[in-house]
């Protein structure tokens, strides 16, 4: 492979791959997360990802 003629390419619309997982949390912690998410007006799942 000859890298002398290579050009840099940008993929502007490329999104990182994600995978769905199950997560077990103590009930009290989940309630705290939901309260914090509600205060920020975001879904609690999004807050967990952050």
Which pLDDT score is estimated for 31? 97
* Better-scored residue on pLDDT, 45 or 1: 45
pLDDT tens digits, one per residue of 14-50: 887 888 899 999 999 999 999 999 999 999 999 999 8
How many distinct structural domains can be found in the chain?
1
Does residue 31 fall inside a structural domain?
Answer: yes
Say yes or no to pLDDT of 1 above 80. Answer: no
Q: Which domain holds residue 42?
A: 23-50
Longest dimension (CA), the chain: 58
pTM metric for this prediction: 0.62
Does residue 7 fall inside a structural domain?
Answer: no
Q: How far apart are CA 23 and CA 35, in angstroms?
A: 18
Does residue 11 fall inside a structural domain?
Answer: no
Given the structure tokens 């002398």, which residue do they identify? 4
Does residue 35 fall inside a structural domain?
Answer: yes
Does residue 36 fall inside a structural domain?
Answer: yes
CB of 37 within 8 A of CB of 47?
Answer: yes
Q: How far apart are CA 44 and CA 38, in angstroms?
A: 8
Does residue 5 fall inside a structural domain?
Answer: no
């Amino acid at each position: 492979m000859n890298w002398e003629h290579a050009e840099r390419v940008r993929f502007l619309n490329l999104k990182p791959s994600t995978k769905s997982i199950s997560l077990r949390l103590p009930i009290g912690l989940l309630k705290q997360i939901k309260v914090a998410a509600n205060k920020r007006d975001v879904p609690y799942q999004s807050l967990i990802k952050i």
